[in-house]
Amino acid sequence: MTEKSAKSHGRKAIRPTLKPRELMTPTPDLHGVWKAKVITLFPSAFPGVLGESLTGKALQDGLWQLETVDLRQFGITKHRNVDDTPAGGGAGMVLRADVLGDAIEHTMAGIQGNWPLIYLSPRGRRMDQQMMQNLARCDGMTLLCGRFEGVDERVLEHYGVQEVSLGDFVMTGGEIAAQALIDATVRLIPGVLGNQASAEEESFASGLLEHPQYTRPAEWKGRPIPEILMSGHHGRIAKWRHEMSERITRERRPDLWDQYRKSKAED
């Protein structure tokens, strides 16, 4: 292929310049650094929000890497077609097996270690915190962003692709779901959040939803911060927060509450 099909995002050397630094500048692979590869028809959608705040800083600092692979570059004919009509008839278009196969093999070439290949699909397993923790322990992951009516089933079967869903609804493509999956995973990589306790205390870390949070001012529109949080008694505060987490989980997510109770019964 004569056209560049991928852009990498990651650590850069710091040099004096009047021009702003960009996240989209191609960079070499960093050995041993967790990396997300994304096969998409819209590589310009990345890094998107991933380039902001803590994940963006961590990307520039080389704590993780991002590479986009333009699916259009693997299209057939002079028009770079990537899709065709569904076999058996029906509305919409389906991403072609030959196009996807070439893109996947190009993207996965040379990859070693624990590196799952994931297709963002409403048919897949719903994302949860345990999934993110598992992915953060991998060497990296490759995400396939679908479009139109989906992808040729033979691709999923041949490459053993895992299907993952953002939720029980349908979107126009997998790019937003891919960014959500990457964000939720990258923040678990050591050093990204800065304070590891933040990841340990938030929702789902203990199997429960997070307790309520408060900050200044001490009273707002007639609503004071709960007195116990101002007491300075760390033991009582920890107990209150745990009780609130249990109550909120029981009321809002009975499915999580049942799992939590079962896990406690097994301990």
* Per-residue pLDDT tens over the stretch 188-247: 999 999 876 566 666 677 899 999 999 999 999 999 999 999 999 999 999 999 999 999
Predicted local confidence at residue 122, as pLDDT:
94
Q: What CA–CA distances, in Å, run from 138 to 110, 116, 118, 192? A: 16, 8, 13, 16
Reply yes or no on whether the pLDDT at 173 is more than 80: yes
- Which amino acid, residue 134? N
Q: What CA–CA distances, in Å, run from 66 to 81, 134, 243? A: 26, 18, 40
Q: Which residues, listed in sequence order, are joined to residue 81 by a DSSP beta bridge?
A: 76
CA angle 191, 195, 201 (to 5 degrees): 120
Reply yes or no on whether the pLDDT at 97 is more than 50: yes
Predicted local confidence at residue 49, as pLDDT:
97
What is the location of CATH 3.40.1280.10 in the chain? 6-186
The string of pLDDT tens digits covering residues 35-69 is 999 999 999 999 999 999 999 999 999 999 999 99
CATH 3.40.630.10 fits 6-186, yes or no: no
Most confident segment among 17-21, 182-186, 263-267? 182-186
Nearest to 55 by CA among 78, 23, 80, 31: 23
Give the residue-averaged pLDDT of 114-131.
96
CATH superfamily, with its number, for domain 202-266: tRNA(m1g37)methyltransferase, domain 2 (1.10.1270.20)
What is the location of CATH 1.10.1270.20 in the chain? 202-266
The string of pLDDT tens digits covering residues 128-161 is 999 999 999 999 999 999 999 999 999 999 999 9
Predicted local confidence at residue 11, as pLDDT:
55
Reply yes or no on whether the pLDDT at 2 is more than 50: no
